[in-house]
Amino acid sequence: MAGWAVGSIKLYIRYSRGADFSGSCFYTDRRIFINLGRHLEYPYWMQTYIGRAKTTRRFWYKPSCAVEMKTGFHVIIFVFMHELFHLLVKRARRNTRQKESMCDRFATRFLVDRLGAEVRGPQGKPMERGAWDFQDLDRFVEAARALNSQV
């Protein structure tokens, strides 16, 4: 979180009641809840929609991708980084609606860069980084930088 003006965050981690994982972020008091399924087996391949949208003549869709989670810690870090990006979007005074793929990309980028996670495309083959890391997410939330905004 270094460099971001988010202040202190209250983090709660607990077991879920059945879902593989979930998370929620409360902006006003900066609380993040992370729920992790006890039943998960590792490596766990988390399905997400981080790739570029595809279009046909009638509709658009996002292909499903899988991000490797080597341990429960990786799942927790992914969900935390996802929820942190929601908070950064809010702190940067951006529209908070429809940002799920951006949040997933932010979290995936952290896992790939810091923890060596792998990303696979719809056919299960390793995915080129440019196919999923195509937005400048840091610039999108630049107004939430510690030097540019107050906590």
User: Which of left, alpha, beta for 49 (phi over 0: left; psi -120 to 50: alpha)?
Assistant: beta
**CA nearest to 101, candidates 130, 62, 66:** 62
H-only helix segments in 60-115 = 72-91, 100-115
Q: How far apart (Å, rounded) are the C-alpha atoms in residues 18 and 79?
A: 16
Torsion of Cα atoms, 71 then 47 then 16 then 33, to 10°: 90
Domains and CATH numbers, the chain: 10-134 (3.30.70)
Q: How far apart (Å, rounded) are the C-alpha atoms in residues 133 and 98?
A: 17
Phi, psi of 124 (to 5 degrees): 85, 5
Torsion of Cα atoms, 66 then 81 then 143 then 53, to 10°: 10
In this predicted structure, the answer to whether residue 117 has a pLDDT above a threshold of 90 is yes
For 82-108, how does the pLDDT look when each residue is reduced to its tens digit (9 = 90+)?
A: 999 999 999 999 999 999 999 999 999
pTM attached to this predicted model = 0.91
For 34-87, how does the pLDDT look when each residue is reduced to its tens digit (9 = 90+)?
A: 999 999 999 999 999 999 999 999 999 898 999 999 999 999 999 999 999 999
In this predicted structure, the answer to whether residue 149 has a pLDDT above a threshold of 90 is no
Torsion of Cα atoms, 26 then 71 then 118 then 94, to 10°: 10
Q: What is the DSSP string of 101-132?
A: HHHHHHHHHHHHHHH---EE-TTSSBPPHHHH
Q: Name the pLDDT band for 10 (thresholds 50, 70, 90).
A: very high
Question: Which residues are registered as beta bridge partners of 60?
Answer: 55
